[in-house]
Structure 1
Amino acid sequence: MLRHRLYLNTALAAGLALWLPAASAAVDGPSVHVYNWYDYIGPTTLADFKRDQGITPVYDTFDSAEVLEGKLLTGGSGYDVVVASNFSLPTLIKAGVLAPLDPAKLPHLKHMDPTLLAKLASNDPGNRYAVPYLWGTNGIGYNIDKVRAVLGEQAPVDSWDLLFKEDNLAKLSQCGVALLDSPAEMLPVALHYLGLPPNSSNPDDYKQAEALLLKLRPHIRYFDSSKFISDLANGNICAAVSWSGAALEAKTNAELAGNGVRIAYSLPKEGAPVWLDTLVLLKDAPHPTQGQAFIDYLMRPEVVAPITDHLNYPNGNLAATPLVGAAARNNPVVYPSAETMARLFTLQPLPKKTERIRTRVWSKVKSGQ
């Protein structure tokens, strides 16, 4: 879902500079053009792929599903492989943007988690167009000490009440609260909090979500899908609606900085979104053979396990799980328990009419009018 996830650290930025940008890169020899979420791959994955396959990856990034869909639906993007969230797949498939994958060219397809493939089939019937890459959840990233200082030891950090109950949010506004700048992710959470279907197509439900968010708007410092990570790590804000891996990245960066900031991530007890990002091949891919080689490479257990270790997002590769480091593999934030998974819900594509309603609501919420 959704997904950008993490901000680009210096080391990774230096590595990715070798591959950017797709639009202007001139490459000698075989190449593959890849479009992925911002900072959503291992620091050496691209270089390792080139060394292993003799194919140069030309790499671009995006930071919202809306940007991705807008680029792909206009056609002629020039990309071969794209990382698309599960809820975007029906729109892309219906528009004829994606090419069916050839299992004969994907020998590592056998490693995919059958449970995730079954979930993905609701967005990609028959698993024809997409294979799982990484997945995660949306919850609350927060500064342990600042939240306790404002709300006390009994702060409801295990509940959406922390941010969606006005009394709590008003107090937390003293230290700063951020929301994702994504109507496709925030409005389902607001609907779910109100006891309404998170994937509702009922305009009246969105009126209720709008009223709730407009009431909360004065206490929200900003809407952004990347800035909140560094701000959490540096203590500039004390809470944010966050992706699981993003909160863990903030936690790690605060610890590395030794700045005394303690960050935690909570999956609210009421339930929260779970998303699955996938690897797809575009129908107009200029290099389809190299594209499928890239997809297959990322399905190697020994390739994707270090990506999980680096990003703190679980992967869709069952054979890779034993290769993931214990710190990530045993962390319930990265790999939630079955009990937790039962409380999570997936996001679904909505009719265009509902999407327009959602866009209008979000514009009003952000402007506060």
Structure 2
Amino acid sequence: MVKKITQKLYIALMFIFLYAPIAVLIVLSFNKSKSRAKWGGFTLQWYKELFANQQIMNALYTTLVLALVSALVATIIGTAASIAMNSMRRSPRTIMMGITNIPMLNADIVTGISLMLIFVAINYTLGFTSVLIAHITFNIPYVILSVMPKLKQTNKSTYEAALDLGASHMYAFRTVILPDIFPGIMSGFLLAFTMSLDDFIITHFTKGPGVNTLSTKIYTEVRKGIKPEMYALSTLLFVSVLTLLILINRTPSEEKINKRLKKKAVQKESNSKFRIFKPAIILIVIAALIVGSFAGMKTTSGKNTLNVYNWGEYIDPEVITMFEKETGIDVVYDEFEMNEEMYSKVETGAVKYDVVCPSDYTIQRMIEADLLAELNYDNIPNIKYIGKDYLQSAEAFDPGNKYAIPYCWGTVGILYNKTMVDEPIDSWSAIFDEKYKNNILMINSVRDAMGIALKYLGYSLNSTDRDELEEATNLLKEQKPLVQSYVVDQVRDKMIGNNAAIGIIYSGEAIYTRRENPDLEYVVPKEGSNIWIDGWVIPKNSENKENAEKFINFLCRPDIALLNFDYITYSTPNTAARDLIEDEDIRNSTIAFPDSATISNCETFKYLGDAMTAYYDDKWREVLSQ
């Protein structure tokens, strides 16, 4: 009795661990609030917006087409390769099987980077075709390893007997061998389809502008948080798969089975007449999918195009549509999640972007590496709407404002819950105070974390003095037992849900969190902090520089800058756009637009060189590994 109860309890716990996260996701897809920590009531809004969201639907379309086409092609190639290998002698076959296993034993990142380097070496422009080729290459070993066991089980005598009776090699293969190995072919196809559908690494390293799968789309949204529409999409996918599994695993009654057998027997003779057309139909379907996939992709080259590379969720999609309508220029839009990721792509020239939006210290790094083209201000007259103070601040990393136009800016500060702290906070000392142990959310970013410690100690956040950096490292080590967790975007939901008293956050995120939870307050500590500026730049290898300058000029237009401010909530350097803000509380907000005294007490990050960057990384690893 006890044994049975234990078994049932074990199974129940197993299912809870497996499906509890999915259940949470399904609930969130009906949550009216965008925050994961707050229930705002039941809604179907996210399902409606899902089908209206062109970026997500394009990513879904690309994912399905890529998985289906790559799996079909990989299955054909893999099956042919398996037949060839099976006919080899033992030693060559063993060697070939060993080679087949290498990509499967290697980490995906090795395969992804290797494929990217091959494309770069042969000067092949990254795009949908490069991803398709990479997925096919990645999938072939899975097909081979599924088909080979079935080939070994095949009776060669039957095949040879068919040949002796006058059958052609193709007919004998189609009628004798193919039925025996078909289960292996289907297993290989389904495995290849699943691996392609779920892949992120291979796609990430081989995709070009405008190519996004669901995995890469979700990855680029991490900086701003995953959209609720993604919860709705995931729910629909889960329900679809569950429904298919139920239908497939339904056991028909004996009467239904007999009826189906009789029906098949009647149709067998008539269907045999059309058997010759089946391969042609399959080829037509594959060709249609490939042609359709290319038709759905915007071209990445040409005088009437613009390749944009921006942070995830960092522009109002309507702005891109408006720009395309007004100028007739097709925008191919791509997103990145880290400055380092963007820098490596621009540096290698694997993809030629026309306009990019890096952060301040990365802009300096790109200038020093001679990767950027100087701007022609005759083509950017709307620069007059960018505040002089912001242009002056940008000179810290772009002397003379030759290469960059400020786009968004903000500060790094403390978000605290007024009901969970003893008194208003105005100093970094709060995050090092033992009374808030396990109630502190520290930012998981080397420059931000080290910068906070350096400012608290009275040093520059761009310090290169190793003694000062050692002191900052020790301070962060002492703080670690007080920290609940090291986070970036997760701080929003945790603070909204009252899961911590204090969190480090970017000012733009603070505006959103205070809307969701009025008990939250944001402050830039009196010791000073980081004031960051993201700006638009044009890489030297841009093929459409004039279009890029038109785009930058368009974004500097006050009404367009206002649309972007409302969408992303990060502060705009466009003073004319600020005057257009209707909400007086937002227009005069000290979070979105801090006073000059606060700004003058802040610093922008500077690029410190590869050696010092590596040193910072080493110090941060010391803190996290303690």
Taking structure 2 as the reference length, the TM-score comes to 0.52
- Is 1:309 the counterpart of 2:583? The answer is no
Q: Of the candidates 17, 25, 31, which is equivalent to residue 56 of structure 2?
A: 17
**Is structure 2 residue 351 aligned with structure 1 residue 77?**
yes
Partners of 2:585 and 2:338 in 1: CA distance: 28
Task: State the AA in 2 paired with 1:141.
Answer: L
Equivalence for 2:311: 37
Query: In the alignment, which residue of structure 2 is the partner of 1:276?
Result: 533
> Is the Cα–Cα contact under 8 Å of residues 251 and 263 in structure 1 kept in the other structure?
yes
Instruction: Tell me, yes or no, if the aligned pair for 1:142 and 1:239 is still in contact at 8 Å.
Output: yes
**Superposed, which structure 2 residues align to 1:191-270 within 5 Å?**
191-252=454-515, 254=516, 262-270=519-527
From 431, 435, 442, the equivalent of 1:179 is 442
Deviation at 1:23, TM superposition (A): 5.2
Root-mean-square deviation (Å): 2.6
Q: For the residues of structure 2 that align with 1:14 and 1:311, how far apart are their CA atoms?
A: 16
CA distance in 1, matches of 2:455, 2:480: 18
Secondary structure of 1:221 counterpart: strand
Q: Which amino acid aligns with 1:215?
A: E
Partner of 1:86: 360
Q: Which amino acid aligns with 2:327?
A: Q
* Other-structure match for 2:416: 142
Query: 2: CA distance between counterparts of 1:112 and 1:281?
Result: 18
Aligned counterparts of 1:312 and 1:49: Cα–Cα separation in 2: 21
- The answer (yes or no) to whether the contact 2:405–2:537 under 8 Å persists in 1 is yes
Is contact 1:31–1:287 with CA below 8 Å preserved after alignment? Answer: yes
Work out the CA distance in 1 between the residues paired with 2:580 and 2:210. 36
d(CA) in 2 for partners of 1:104 and 1:45?
22
Correspondences of 1:120-135 after superposition (within 5 Å): 120-135=394-409
Superimposed CA distance per residue, residues 288-342 of structure 1 (whole angstroms, 9 cap, x where no aligned partner): 2322221111010110022223333221223222112323211111111122222
CA contact (8 A) 1:201 1:351 kept: no
| 2:523 partner amino acid | S
How many percent identity over aligned positions? Answer: 29
Moved more, 277-286 or 217-226: 217-226
Cα displacement string for residues 335-363 of structure 1 (whole angstroms, at most 9, x for unaligned residues)? 11122222222222213221111010111
**Cα deviation digits, residues 191-230 of structure 1 (max 9, x gap):** 1111222211111111111111111112323323222223
Q: Distance in 2 between matches of 1:24 and 1:39?
A: 16
State the SS of the aligned residue for 1:69. helix
- Aligned residues of 1:16 and 1:59 also touching (Cα < 8 A): no
User: Are residue 58 (structure 1) and residue 343 (structure 2) matched?
Assistant: no
Residue 27 (structure 1) aligned with residue 290 (structure 2): no
Change (3 A) 1:102 1:223: same
Describe the shift of the 1:251–1:15 C-alpha distance in structure 2 as closer, same or farther (beyond 3 A): farther
Structure 1 equivalent of residue 23 of structure 2: none
CA distance in 2, matches of 1:19, 1:320: 31
C-alpha distance in 1 between matches for 2:58 and 2:377: 28
Kept in 2: contact 1:7–1:39 (CA 8 A):
no
- Over 3 Å counting, the alpha-carbon distance change for 1:52 and 1:231 in structure 2 is farther
Q: 1:68 to 1:238 in 2, by over 3 A?
A: farther
In the other structure, the counterpart of 2:591 is: 333
Deviates more, 1:29-38 or 1:188-197: 29-38
Structure 1: 4+ residue segments shifted above 4 A: 6-13, 18-21
Answering whether residue 456 of structure 2 is matched by residue 188 of structure 1, we say: no
Give the gaps of 5 or more residues in structure 1.
1-5, 256-260
Q: Which amino acid aligns with 1:57?
A: V
In 2, Cα distance between equivalents of 1:286 and 1:7: 41
Q: Which residue of 1 aligns with 2:603?
A: 345
State how far apart, in whole Å, the 2-side matches of 1:298 and 1:202 are.
Answer: 39
Q: Is 1:158 aligned to residue 426 of structure 2?
A: yes
1:229-259 Cα shifts (integer Å, max 9, x gaps) = 232223333322110011112222x25xxxx
1:356 aligns with 2:356: no
Corresponding position of 2:323: 49
Helix, strand or coil at the partner of 2:358: strand
Deviates more, 1:80-89 or 1:328-337: 80-89
Q: TM-score scaled to structure 1, two decimals?
A: 0.85
CA pair 92-24 structure 1, distance change in 2 beyond 3 A: same
The structure-2 alpha-carbon separation of the partners of 1:63 and 1:168, relative to structure 1 and needing over 3 Å to count, comes to farther
- Contact residue 458 and residue 527 of structure 2 kept, 8 A: no
Contact 2:346-2:352 at 8 Å conserved across structures = no
> Is the deviation greater in 72-81 or in 289-298?
72-81
Contact 2:211–2:334 (Cα < 8 Å) also in 1: no
Q: 1:18 to 1:58 in 2, by over 3 A?
A: farther
2:492 and 2:513 in contact (8 A); partners too: yes
Aligned partner of 1:258 in structure 2 is none
Deviation at 1:271, TM superposition (A): 1.2
Report how far residue 15 of structure 1 moved: 5.0
Q: Would the alpha carbon gap of residues 136 and 7 (structure 1) be closer, same or farther in structure 2, given more than 3 Å must change? A: farther
Equivalent residue number for residue 95 of structure 2: none
Secondary structure (helix, strand or coil) at the match of 1:282 reads: coil
Give the 3-state SS of the residue equivalent to 1:84 in structure 2: coil
Instruction: Go from structure 1 to structure 2 and tell me whether the alpha carbon gap of 1:162 and 1:314 turns closer, same or farther (over 3 Å shift).
Output: same
CA distance in 2, matches of 1:77, 1:223: 33
Greater RCO (CA < 8 Å, at least 6 residues apart): 1
Q: Distance in 2 between matches of 1:19 and 1:120?
A: 36
The 1:194–1:335 alpha-carbon spacing in structure 2 relative to 1, beyond 3 Å, is same
Q: 2:552 aligns with which of 257, 273, 295?
A: 295
